[in-house]
Amino acid sequence: MGIFPENPCEFAIEFINRMRKHPDIVQVPSSRQVLAIPRLILSRYYRKGKITSNDYIEISQVTSFPDNQDLAKDLAFKVLFPNYKKDIVSDFFEEEGSGESIEDTFLSNNEQSELDDIQDLVDEIEMSVDRDKIQELEQFIEGLNKKKDQEPYKSAMHFFNDESELYKEEISSYEELIEEAKKRFENKINSLDPEDLKAAANLDLNELVEKQSKRDWEKLASKALQNKDISKELDNLMQNGSFEDLIQSMKYLKDTNSINQDQFQNMKKNLQKKIQNLDQLFNASKNLGSTPDFKKESVLNNSINNSSFDHNFNIANALDQYYGTNLREELLKKINQMKSQSKMNIPLESLTKNAMANKSWNALFKKALQDAIMEAQNQKRPSEGFKSLSHQLQQLKNSCQNNHCSQKVSQSIPDIVKKALESTNDPSQLRNTVEFLRKIGLEPNPEDIKTKGTNLGMNEDEIYELIEPNYQLLKKLIEQKKGDFDRLQNLIKRLKEELNYDRIKELLNSSLSSDNREALGALGHFQLDQALKAAEETAGKEGMNNLISCLSAGSGENLLKQWFIHRKNLPVGAKEKVKELAKKMLINLGIQYSRARLGSSISGPMPINILRPYTVGDDISNIDLEETINNILEKGKKLSHINYDDFYVYETAKGERNVCIELDISGSMSGEKLAYMAICTTMLCFALKKDELGLCFFESNTHILKEMGKKADLEELADELLTITAKGGTVIQKALEWARRQFKENSESREKLNILFTDAEVHDLERAMEELRIFRSMGVDFILVCPEASFSMEDAKKMVKIAGGELLSINDWNEFPNLISEIIRSRF
């Protein structure tokens, strides 16, 4: 063809056909791309005046999904150049019928009609082209290319992006070139850059600037380029001009080399009077390439009084880094002087984020810490304030990137920990404070605990329980029936390395003898199998029953962990009773988690396949980018002319949403992992409607727990969950295939969410990939959740890429129900 390297419609059909059949395709292209490609080719032809093979390849690439773009570039090239390094062997063995047309398979009647209209337009362009004019254009451009580095051709071409614009404007002579350059120059007046002005000077167009421009710096530089006297204008600018006018004028005069050195130095001296703050100083330095003289005292005072500490420090840091100033130190020194005379407060977070090793920063940090201490002391419960401050300092120490800052924070922590202990008002507060500090990794000084405990009237045993508990103390508390469940459980956790079976048995005997139910519950929640065995050996069946009746104390999560860890080793007579208790706990926890973490599952607004112009207030996530780009290109609009109504958005409607969840229970997923999976499953089954949730476990086999459309009986579900064991390998294809069928059978749902939890050590990755490709073509929102400590990152990324999904990781297992809840709530 004459104008087009390849018929745009035929090219699009062949390209999409090859894309859909290629084995490496990630996301199957839609038939709408068949229409988009020739439309964009025509738009580019109208805009540039010509079209090349590179345009075809680029358009094919940018209209493809991001994960398909490398493949699209390769296939578009092969369609355009079929004989380039042709694979003769593959062509010889090509199956018959492989050239099946995409028209018959994928295009609807309406789409085929649109394609025919585009083809008619292509034919019309081919017929209407003046080939003599094209030859004349090509001869002129060939001659122009030989003179492109000579004046005035070089300056005239400055106003064109490339030679394709000469085709568009049908420029075939020097006179036409100069006239078009003049028009383009006039259109840029008031937004000219120094290079534009230099090019205009070579074309004798400067007078246009003086007549038409509203920018003083454009007119001044243009006049200077004509070697006219600008002394009067400079005097007026320096006396009456704004900072912006002066700095822009200096930049333009400097970049156009149109001012002598004496005049420029005079302007720099005048600039000193106009710089009022650090922002203006940075702007001046950036435009001039160096830091001009300025009134440091005035600039720092104005900046401190009118801008935040973070902002000023960042600007000063940039000036120090790029222009060799020392403004950070000067800024800190000035703030320190002003702070002693005012009530200025700089938060600890700001100081640690903007740290510097000098005396002024040290003084500011000390003052900020004193302010934080005063704030903690003035709270209703000072101990809570100091606990919070201790935690804050611990986090700041870990996040601070400056070594000096980290050392200063570390040095302050022991004093705050001591104040946290000193601010407690009773033994209970002291215990809670000590436990909290240890939980966040801070160890209080034993002498401080002892002093405060004595002042609060605690006896020696109570004090040593907080400092360094021992087995004899635990035994004594149990025998004397002192301490509640939580206190005994915390003590047992701290002594876990000292508690072997013989000691557990001894403690069980004391608990049963004194009928200490709090102690029985705490021991059962520590090592359930050993506690039941010891109870049976000590007091027979009655002893076991007494222990089981005390297991309802404490958190249900811990009992479930004990069940999944020790269920195989429980005595036969106790196993069913413990299971029944665990079942009640599981159902109650599922309901509690549901009410606390999941609201209603009724869906909100969702996109439907109706497009309309964007109006203010619409959700930008509903913008259809493909239709928007086509609309803008068809209208031929410049970026500066684009309005809100040029964007197209989907209409929204209410509708049901479905979620399928597949949970990995292969060999490594045991103990507490199974406990939290069971809680999560019960929570979801209680919270979501029967039509909204499908759920399964998988290992080498797939275990269906709930199908969409079927109501889950929580009693039966809990019973099944408590019997599931971690076993086998990680085979996910069957689980994904089951989920796909669930979505297909509930295809009326507009939103489909799939959550897959696994360590990604997948045995059938290739087959799973095929299912994930289908998920993507069905519009399923795919989320992969993996344990942070151990999973195959490479395989996980492959799965997410193919499905077009998102990868999340989890570190702490007790956060698993929270994470799943957040995912559901963010989508539903």
pLDDT tens track for 619-639: 676 787 877 887 787 777 777
Distance CA 489, CA 295 (A): 66
Q: Is 356 helix (H, G, I), strand (E, B) or coil?
A: coil
Find, among 726, 606, 592, the residue nearest to 656 by Cα: 606
Mean pLDDT for 180-203 is 91
pLDDT score recorded for residue 134: 67
CB distance 630 to 36 below 8 Å: yes
pLDDT tens track for 255-269: 999 888 888 888 888
As a whole number of Å, the end-to-end CA separation of the chain is 53
Tell me whether strands 751-757 and 806-810 are parallel, antiparallel or unpaired: unpaired
pLDDT at 100 > cutoff 50: no
Going by pLDDT thresholds of 50, 70 and 90, the confidence category of residue 565 is confident
Mean pLDDT for 294-310 is 91
pLDDT score recorded for residue 454: 93
Going by pLDDT thresholds of 50, 70 and 90, the confidence category of residue 84 is low
Q: What is the DSSP string of 393-446?
A: HHHHHHH---HHHHHHHHHHHHHHHHHHHHT--SHHHHHHHHHHHHHTT----H
Burial 236-261 (b: 16+ CB within 10 A, else e): ebbeebeeebbbbbbbbbbbbebbee
Going by pLDDT thresholds of 50, 70 and 90, the confidence category of residue 96 is very low
Mean pLDDT for 590-616 is 63
**Domain coordinates of the chain in residue numbers?**
8-128, 194-274, 290-344, 348-459, 460-597, 607-653, 657-827
R_g over Cα of the chain: 38
Distance CA 631, CA 636 (A): 9
Distance CA 42, CA 38 (A): 6
Reported residue count of the chain is 828
Virtual torsion, Cα 71, 72, 73, 77, nearest 10 deg: 110
pLDDT at 251 > cutoff 50: yes
pLDDT score recorded for residue 673: 81
Burial 430-455 (b: 16+ CB within 10 A, else e): bbebbebbeeeebebeeebbbebbee
Distance CA 732, CA 757 (A): 10
Looking at 601-692, list the stretches that DSSP marks H as alpha helix, in order from N- to C-terminal side: 625-635, 672-687
Q: Is 95 helix (H, G, I), strand (E, B) or coil?
A: coil
pLDDT score recorded for residue 459: 87
- Mean pLDDT (the chain) is 84
- 657-827 fold: Rossmann fold (3.40.50)
Q: What is the DSSP string of 599-613?
A: -------EEEEEEEE
Distance CA 433, CA 436 (A): 5
Mean pLDDT for 697-711 is 88
Distance CA 275, CA 282 (A): 10
Spell out the residues 6+ positions from residue 209 whose beta carbon is closer than 8 angstroms to its own.
189, 192, 197, 200, 218, 219, 222
Find, among 330, 369, 378, the residue nearest to 347 by Cα: 369
pLDDT score recorded for residue 97: 41
Find, among 797, 695, 699, the residue nearest to 754 by Cα: 695
pLDDT score recorded for residue 161: 83
pLDDT at 647 > cutoff 90: no
pLDDT score recorded for residue 813: 77
pLDDT score recorded for residue 54: 87
pLDDT tens track for 328-367: 999 999 988 886 655 568 889 999 999 999 999 999 999 9
pLDDT score recorded for residue 104: 46
Q: Does the global pTM surpass 0.85?
A: no
pLDDT score recorded for residue 109: 76
Mean pLDDT for 609-626 is 71
Mean pLDDT for 460-468 is 84
Highest mean pLDDT among 21-35, 429-443, 761-775, 805-819: 429-443
What is the percent of the chain where pLDDT is above 90? 30
Give residue 201's region: left, alpha or beta (phi > 0; psi -120 to 50).
Answer: alpha
pLDDT at 86 > cutoff 60: no
Distance CA 264, CA 332 (A): 33
Mean pLDDT for 726-754 is 85
pLDDT at 607 > cutoff 50: no
Per mean pLDDT, which range of 23-32, 219-228, 271-280, 610-619 is the poorest?
A: 610-619
pLDDT tens track for 308-321: 999 999 999 999 99
Distance CA 824, CA 175 (A): 67
pLDDT tens track for 37-54: 988 888 888 777 778 888
pLDDT at 34 > cutoff 70: yes
What is the percent of the chain where pLDDT is above 70? 90
pLDDT at 195 > cutoff 90: yes
